[in-house]
Amino acid sequence: MPGLPSTTPLVVGFDLDMTLIDTVPGFSATLRVLGAELGVEFPVAEMTARLGPPLDHLLSEHLAEEAVASAGDRFRELYPDHAVAPVPVLPGAHEAIAAVRRARGRVVVVTGKFPDNARRHVDHLGLDVDHVEGWVWGVGKADALRREGASIYVGDHVHDVEGALAAGALSVSVLTGGCTREELLDAGTHVVLDGLEEFPAWLDEHLLSTRLAALEADLRERGSVLVAYSGGADSAFLLAAAVRALGADRVAAATGYSHSLPQVERDPARAFAESIGVEVLTPRTNEMEREGYRANSGDRCFFCKAELLDVLTPLAAERGLAHVATGTNADDAVAGFRPGIRAAAERGAITPLRDAGLSKAQIREASRRWGLPTWDKPAAACLSSRVAYGVEVTPHRLARVERAEAAVRAALGRHGVPVRDLRVRDLGDRASVEIDAVLLEGPLHPDGELATSLLADVRGAGFAEAALDPRGFRSGSMNDALRP
C-alpha cells in the first residue's frame, strides 16, 4: 500500500459524483428535460444507477452516434438550471474534508464532470476545496492527481481506482456509488469504506501509522542519538521511539540543569528515562551567562537553545552518538515565531518528530497506545517563559516564580481542587496567575475566599502584587506582546 512520505505535504483528491455529492436527483431531472426536447424517453433509473462515466458514454447507448455530441452540449446547458439546486452532499462529505484540513492538507476534486458544473456544485454546497479538475476519467485522472501532488484519491467507481493506481496514490473507495465491494477490490483499491462518515477515523489512523513508520525508519537510519530531554510529552515520546528503533544501548538522554528547569520536573524525567533503560546525563547549562538570554527580548529562546546545543553536541561526540535530537514536532514547525528551533537547526540538531510529520495530538495518542505515562502530561515550559519580555531574567525571578507556582498547587491540593495548567507570569513588579479557565467559574471565582488566599500565597513568594488572569491559562500568552 502506498504511504505518504513524511516530508510531503498532504493532498487528498476526491471524486465528485456519488463520492462527495448525490448527483442522482439533478442528473435525473436534466435527463428528463433533455429527453423531452429530443423526443427520447431515457431510462433514467438505469442511467443513474452507476454514475461516474463521462456523459457521452451514457448517451451513446440511447442516441445515434452523430447526435451524441450535440445532446451532450445541450445537457450541459440545461444542467445549471435543473441539477445544481436539488443535489445534496453525501453524508460525511463536509466532515471528510474537515479531517484533511485538520491534518493541514489540501483538498482537490478530480472528476469526469464538466468543469463549470463541477464548480457550481462545490460552490453551492460550500465544499471547502482548493482546486477542481474536470473532464478527466479513469487513468486520465492520474495526470491531475500527480500534478496536484495527491497521495490519496477517494472515489466510488472502479475507474476511480484506475486513476489512483496510475497516479501512484493510495486508492480509497466508498460504497455510495454503483460499484460493489468485490468489484472495487478486484480493481485493486487499497481501502473500502461504507461511506465518507468513516473517512475521518480512517485518515487519522492512516496518518498516525504512516508517520510512526517514517519515524522508526528515520531513527534506524541515524544509528544512534542523544535526545535533548526535558521529560515532557514530546521528548519522552522521542526517547521511547529511539529505544524501540535502536535499542537502549545506542540512545542516551541529556537534560540541561539550570535555574530555568523547575525542580519538580527533574526526578519524574529521570525516572521515566531510567524505566526504559536509558542513561540520563545532566550537564549544567549556563544560558544565564548569555547577555541575549538575560535581556529577555523576543529571541530569548534562541540563546537558551544555542547554549543547550553547544553543551550537548560535544557531549554526544564524546559518547560516540551520531546525532543530537530535539523533540520539535510538526505543530511547532508551523507555530510562527520559534527562535529556539532556528538555533538548534543552525547547530545541526535533528528533529525526527517534525520530519515524520507527527503533530502534538498524534504524539499524545501514540504515547497513550505505548503506555507512556507522559501521554497526557500538561505542557511544562521553562521558568523563563513566565517572565514578561523586556524584564531581565535573573535567578531570583525564576526562583520566586517556582515558589509561587508550588504554593498555588499545594493550596489547591489541600482543598481538593485538581489543576492541570498553571502559570505564574512575572510582569516585573506584579504577578499574573493563569489557571484552568473552568476553575475561574467555580472554586476559584475571583471574589471567592480560595482565590483571595491563593493570591496571598503568590505575594508571599516574593511578588508585591498578584491577580488572577480572567482569561485563564493560555499557552504562550507572553508572545501576545510580540504581535503587531
**Same domain (yes/no): 122, 193:** yes
**Same domain (yes/no): 100, 179:** yes
Residue where one domain finishes, among candidates 178, 206, 234: 206
Whether the per-residue pLDDT at 482 is higher than 70: the answer is no
Whether the per-residue pLDDT at 275 is higher than 80: the answer is yes
**Same domain (yes/no): 375, 388:** no
User: Does 474 reside within a domain?
Assistant: yes
Q: What is the pLDDT of residue 26?
A: 81
Residue where one domain finishes, among candidates 66, 83, 100: 83
**Same domain (yes/no): 241, 363:** yes
97 versus 8: which is more confidently predicted? 97
User: Does 313 reside within a domain?
Assistant: yes
* Element of type H or E holding 282: none
CA contacts within 13 A on the Cβ side of 447 = 0
User: Does 215 reside within a domain?
Assistant: no
**Same domain (yes/no): 372, 313:** yes
pLDDT 10s digits, 347-365: 999 999 999 999 999 999 9
Whether the per-residue pLDDT at 128 is higher than 90: the answer is yes
Q: Which CATH number belongs to the domain containing residue 366 in this structure?
A: 3.40.50.620
**Same domain (yes/no): 63, 97:** no
Give the pLDDT mean for 242-252.
Answer: 98
Give the pLDDT mean for 300-311.
Answer: 93
Residue 440 pairs in a beta bridge with none
Q: Do residues 90 and 20 make contact, with C-beta atoms less than 8 angstroms apart?
A: yes
Burial of 268 (0-12, 13-18, 19+ CB in 10 A): middle
Q: What is the pLDDT of residue 298?
A: 83
As for how many domains the chain has, the answer is 4
* Percent above pLDDT 90 for the chain: 71
Residues 6+ apart with CB under 8 A from 76: 55, 114, 116, 117
Amino acid in position 278: V
Burial of 334 (0-12, 13-18, 19+ CB in 10 A): exposed
Residue where one domain finishes, among candidates 61, 83, 105: 83
Give the pLDDT mean for 210-229.
Answer: 97
User: Does 217 reside within a domain?
Assistant: no
C-alpha cell at 426: 512575572
**Same domain (yes/no): 231, 373:** yes
User: Does 214 reside within a domain?
Assistant: no
User: Does 454 reside within a domain?
Assistant: yes
Concatenate the DSSP letters of all residues of 397-434 into one string.
Answer: HHHHHHHHHHHHHHHHHHTT---S-EEEEE-SSEEEEE
**Same domain (yes/no): 361, 253:** yes
**Same domain (yes/no): 250, 310:** yes
**Same domain (yes/no): 322, 370:** yes
**Same domain (yes/no): 369, 342:** yes
**Same domain (yes/no): 371, 240:** yes
pLDDT band at 442 (very low <50, low <70, confident <90, very high): confident
Whether the per-residue pLDDT at 398 is higher than 80: the answer is yes
Place of cell 521558568: 383
Identify the CA nearest to 159 among candidates 62, 15, 13: 15
Whether the per-residue pLDDT at 483 is higher than 90: the answer is no
User: Does 3 reside within a domain?
Assistant: no
C-alpha Rg value of the chain to the nearest Å: 29
Q: What is the pLDDT of residue 28?
A: 86
Q: Do residues 214 and 112 make contact, with C-beta atoms less than 8 angstroms apart?
A: no
pLDDT 10s digits, 310-349: 999 999 999 999 999 999 999 988 865 578 899 999 999 9
Q: Find the range with the poorest average confidence among 43-57, 204-218, 230-244, 434-448.
A: 43-57
Q: Which CATH number belongs to the domain containing residue 50 in this structure?
A: 1.10.150
Print the domain residue range for 263.
223-379
Whether the per-residue pLDDT at 481 is higher than 60: the answer is no
* Element of type H or E holding 242: helix 233-246
pTM of the model: 0.85
